[in-house]
Structures are given as C-alpha cells and as structure tokens.
Amino acid sequence: MAKILDGKTAAAEVRSEVASEVAGLLERGVLVRLDVILVGEDPASVTYVASKERDSQEVGIESKVHRFAADVPQEELAALVGRSNEDTAVSGFFIQLPLPEGLDPMPLISSIDPAKDVDGLSPESVGRLVVGLPSLLPCTPHGVIQLLKRNGVDLSGREAVVVGRSNLVGKPLAQLLLRENATVTVCHSRTQDLPEVTRRADVLIVAAGKREMIGAEHVGEGAVVVDVGIHRKEEGGLVGDVRFDEVEPRAAWISPVPGGVGPMTRAMLLHNTVTAARIGPKS
C-alpha cells in the first residue's frame, strides 16, 4: 500500500512558517499585502479568490481584491497593473485566470514587476527560473517540489517524468526538477507509447489536464506518483488525472485528489507574498 503525499499537512507547515515570518516583518514595521485582480463572475475563480483571502487572513497578510465586470477595457486593467507595480503598500499581486473572452492576459502578465509577480508567470520570472537566477516561483510547480521534499522524497539522481507541457505547470516543473538534480523527461500529446515512457519513472508527475488518463499500465512498481489534475465528477466529488484506486497498489507514494497538490499551490502563494515583502522595494 502506497504512502500518501499529504498536501494538507505540508501546506499547514508552510502556512505556519509564513505566519511566523509575517509576524517578524510586522514587528519591524513592514506590512505584507497581497492584491488580486478579479475580472468577471466565473464561479471557480470567485471561489478560488475567496479561499486566497481566507488563507491570507490566517497568516496575517492583508488582502485586497480589485473586482471588475467582464467587459472591462484591457486598458483599465493595464493601468491598474502599472499602479500596483508602483504602489509600495502592495507586496505582491496577481491576475486571476482565465480572463473573460476578449481580454488578452499575456500583455498584462508580462507587465507585472517580477519582484511582485507572486504567480511567477511573467516572461521575465520564467526566464530567471530557466537560467537559475533568483525569482518568485510558479506556485503549483513549487508546491509539487515542496510536497515531495517535505515528505522525504529525494529527487537527486532520480528519473522524473512529467506528463504535460503547459506554461503554467509542466514546463516550469521540469526546470525545478532539474534544479533538484533529477533526470527529466517531459511527455505530451505527441509522445509515442506513453506507458513505456512513464513506467521508467522513479517519480511520475501528471499535469495533463485530462481526467483519469493515467492507470496501472503507466506506473512502474514502487514509483512516486504526483497527481496535479483536478476534475469535478458529474455525480459530485473530485478526481485527478490519475486513476487513484488502480495506481495506488503499485506506487510507493501517491498524492490524493483532493488534498494533495491543491493545498500546496495555495500555500506557496502565501510563501511568495511574504518573500516579495521581505526582498522587494520598501518605502
């Protein structure tokens, strides 16, 4: 029976560390504030932002949400990004994605000051990650690495296979795994004989966004399996990209959905915010 990569416990550790650091900064007169730009009424985005507000309050981070109607002009959002970059009261901020149709997220994300880019998604932040310079790291990939390390999974010298090559998860995760001295293979929709490739993995991380695509035939005996996917079932409840009940008997470690990567993503946003407050420009 596989051991569970418990994201709730690991995330609680991160939040405790963040709360301690926030308290220390407040003692020195440094306020920590996270701003969110929320456009439209997408239910998932609204719920996600509300959870970020609760998380921030729990650790002592001030939170402000800038809410806009779905038909807001692109120029108005660009102006807010510019003001947020210059506002020394704002430690870090992010734009909740996806944006409504008709708005282009890339110019907005590209204009975020990397020192305040708590999502770690701007081209400059990504470039700094690739070349090994200090940067705020994308929350989900960093959360995966922390989930593994906090459960004692050593990545150095291990063969890691990432299924999925998105800019949000797959590509930056491959870079972070390389930082940990893993040997990395990235699979995608054009990969031939996917099970043959994934069975080689000591550590298999699935971030393809395709419900329950990975089964026992994809997993080598004793592998560590991390499921980044999350999908809502018609009958209720959530599942990931991995068929958990089928894969769990073959794995040494496996992350559940929910309760695995999700809590770590939220925790790493808090980590990035307090990091930005600590190292960013001060008034």
Does the annotation count 96 as an active-site position?
yes
Annotated binding-site ranges for NADP(+): 164-166, 230
* CATH superfamily of the domain spanning 139-262: NAD(P)-binding Rossmann-like Domain (3.40.50.720)
Start and end residues for every CATH 3.40.50.720 domain found in the chain:
139-262
> By percentage, how much of the chain surpasses pLDDT 90?
96
pLDDT at position 281 is 57
pLDDT at position 236 is 87
Sequence-distant (≥ 6) Cβ neighbours of residue 35 within 8 angstroms:
63, 64, 65, 66, 84, 90, 92, 93, 94
Start and end residues for every CATH 3.40.50.10860 domain found in the chain:
28-114
Catalytic choice (52, 113, 146, 202): 52
Task: Please choose, from the candidates 124, 123, 125, the residue with its C-alpha nearest in 3D space to the C-alpha of residue 142.
Answer: 125
Number of DSSP helices (H) and strands (E) in the chain, helices first: 10, 11
Token pair 């293979």 is found at 185
Does the annotation count 52 as an active-site position?
yes
- Average pLDDT (168-179) is 97
pLDDT at position 168 is 94
- Average pLDDT (87-99) is 97
| Mean pLDDT rounded to a whole number for the chain | 96
CA dihedral 121, 125, 131, 135 (to 10 degrees): -110
pLDDT at position 82 is 98
pLDDT above 90 for 246: yes
> By percentage, how much of the chain surpasses pLDDT 70?
99
Topology (CATH level 3) of domain 28-114: Rossmann fold (3.40.50)
pLDDT above 70 for 283: no
Token pair 């499921």 is found at 227
For the whole model, what pTM was predicted?
A: 0.95
- Average pLDDT (212-240) is 95
Name the β-bridge partners of 95: 37
- Average pLDDT (150-175) is 97
Task: Show the beta-strand stretches assigned E in the chain.
Answer: 3-4, 33-39, 62-68, 92-95, 159-163, 183-187, 203-206, 223-227, 231-232, 238-239, 251-254
pLDDT band at 23 (very low <50, low <70, confident <90, very high): very high
Annotated binding-site ranges: 164-166, 230
pLDDT band at 7 (very low <50, low <70, confident <90, very high): very high
C-alpha span between 30 and 24 (Å, rounded): 9
pLDDT at position 235 is 86
pLDDT above 90 for 14: yes
Q: What are the C-alpha distances in Å from 40 to residues 72, 133, 269? A: 9, 35, 22
What are the pLDDT digits (tens) for 33-42? 999 999 999 9
C-alpha span between 210 and 67 (Å, rounded): 31
- Average pLDDT (18-27) is 98
- Average pLDDT (150-166) is 97
pLDDT above 80 for 2: yes
What are the pLDDT digits (tens) for 61-79? 999 999 999 999 999 999 9
C-alpha span between 214 and 197 (Å, rounded): 12
Taking the mean position of all CA atoms in its chain, how far away is CA 178?
Answer: 17
Catalytic choice (55, 96, 113, 117): 96
Catalytic choice (55, 119, 202, 227): 119
pLDDT above 50 for 282: no
